Chain A
Amino acid sequence: MNALVLNGASKGEREWPLKSIYDVLIAELMDFGCRVNQFILQDMVIAYCAGCLGCWVKTPGSCKVKDGIDDIVSAAVQSDLLVFFTPVTFGGYSSLLKRAVDRLGILFAEPQLIEMGGEFHHRLRYKKKYSIIGIGVAPQPDYESEYIFKSLVGRNAVNLNNPNYACGVVLYGQDEKAVKEILRKLLKEVK
């Protein structure tokens, strides 16, 4: 299985504890037999989506802004599993992760709307199914924040036309064994 990992953590002082969790994630993915293609988003130049819809009606499937998103989309097209790694930010993704996800999402979508499961979504440009894992890291347990995060990953999975997703929240400073258990459980859920 080819896994694309988008790391939306910043290297600021507060997020540094995420590095150990991230390293465990990569190790677990490899142990699971995944070929991992990882992108540390803070080290990349990815512009905000300009909302111009040029990728729909001027250069279909391609963004006029040529930056790091090209590599991410190329890798995503060849992947079977998308992994979003992020500090839980108001229940959602960090802005770093969101920059990549916003551009990836619209480049993956065709402009036409189709009905799926009783509501409308964009048809997908690349007709393959992706499994999605969302891994959030939070400073302390918080039911509401976790619920919002899981709802978001679930909705993203619907928009990527694949109900096969898993989502979990890990705590800063949680011991390695507990983190591994959570990650293994998530990987088994999407297998």
Chain B
Amino acid sequence: MDLPKHILFLIGSPRTINSTSDMLASYFMRQLYKKGLDARKLYLSHLLNSNESSPDLFLAVDEADIVIFACPLYLDSPSALVTRAMELIAKRRKSIKQAKKQKLFVISCCGFPEARQNSVALAIYRRFAFETDFEWLGGFEFGMGGFLEHEFRSFWFMTMRDVKTAIKLAADAVSKGEPVSKEAGILISKPCLPVWLYLFMNKFWLKYESRKSGVSDKLNSRPYQIRF
């Protein structure tokens, strides 16, 4: 069996390097580098714009043995940006015969405490893999993503032992071109904080940011409400 050589990470968050998706993908890449694999990442928001068409995306996907989407959850499913990338890839793969069998893994992140709120999104990614002839290696559902988007995110990530173990297990499987174990999926979906603490930190962040902008008393504004 040919072992994979080129792994491509497609980061679906428009926040790019400041996103949870990027943080998880970067740690994953470091594990792959340790195994001597070539891994690169591309930000979909840089590749696609409102007018799309992206030869860079196509070239990168064609070259990869394994494609890994690391993306945020938007209203229960992949965002419009990620969906557009999938549409373009699918269209291309229908028109051009693939030179090699490629594989797909996904990391879906949400800001809710429950990682399972990513489940419909994972089903959509899996369906994409089926329709475009990627072999499905599995997917991660990650909750409490808001935790890794603010101050001291690197420090907080260092404390997330289960997340790091899960990613190491996934990197091990991916480096062999094998499906990622359920054990890894369970580990990464475990809440990394007690829910009450996550909600408290969420409230704190809201107060802090809204005070900076001078809108702490306007968080519940309804600018589109018609008033009579």
**Bound pair (A, B):** yes
Dominant SS among interface residues on chain A: mixed
Q: How far is the CA of A137 from the CA of B218 in the complex (A)?
A: 41
Q: How would residues 104 to 126 of chain B score, 1 for a CB under 8 Å from any chain A CB and 0 otherwise? A: 00000000111001001001110
Known: A56-B206, A59-B215, A111-B206. A92 touches B83 (CB 8 A): yes
The residues of A that contact B177 with a CB separation of less than 8 Å are none
User: Would you list which residues of chain A between 12 and 65 have a CB under 8 Å from chain B?
Assistant: 45, 47-53, 56-62
Asked whether, in the complex, the Cβ of B218 is within 8 Å of the Cβ of A60, the reply is: yes
Tell me the bound Cα distance from A36 to B101 in angstroms.
48
A-contacting 9-mer, from B33-41, B73-81, B154-162, B166-174:
B73-81
Number of A-B contacts (CB under 8 A): 152
B226 touches A94 (CB 8 A): no
> In the bound complex, what is the Cα–Cα distance between A89 and B123 (angstroms)?
12
Residues 72-118 (chain A) with a chain B CB within 8 angstroms: 73-74, 77-78, 89-96, 98-99, 101-102, 105-107, 110-113
Report whether A92 and B50 are in contact in the complex, using a CB–CB cutoff of 8 Å: no
A11 at the interface (CB under 8 A from B): no
A58 lies within 8 A of B76 (CB): no
Residues of B within 8 A of A148 (CB): 120, 123-124, 127
Chain A hits for B226, CB < 8 A: 77-78
Chain A residues within 8 Å of chain B by Cβ, number: 51
Q: How far is the CA of A2 from the CA of B225 in the complex (A)?
A: 15
B92 on the interface (CB 8 Å rule)? Answer: no
Q: Quick check: is B95 within 8 A (CB to CB) of the other chain?
A: no
Chain A minimum-CB-distance residue to B123: A148
Pairwise interchain contact B202-A113, C-beta atoms closer than 8 A: yes
- In chain A, residues 107-134, which have Cβ atoms closer than 8 Å to a Cβ of chain B? 107, 110-113, 119-121, 125-126
Binding site for A on B (CB under 8 A): 13-15, 19, 45, 50, 72, 74-81, 83-84, 86-87, 90, 112-114, 117, 120, 123-125, 127-128, 131, 195, 199, 202-203, 206, 209-210, 212-213, 215, 218-226
- Could you write out 23 A-B pairs with CB less than 8 Å apart? A48-B14, A49-B80, A52-B15, A53-B209, A60-B215, A60-B219, A61-B223, A77-B224, A89-B87, A90-B124, A90-B131, A92-B83, A92-B124, A98-B79, A102-B74, A102-B79, A102-B80, A111-B202, A120-B112, A121-B112, A126-B225, A156-B75, A159-B75
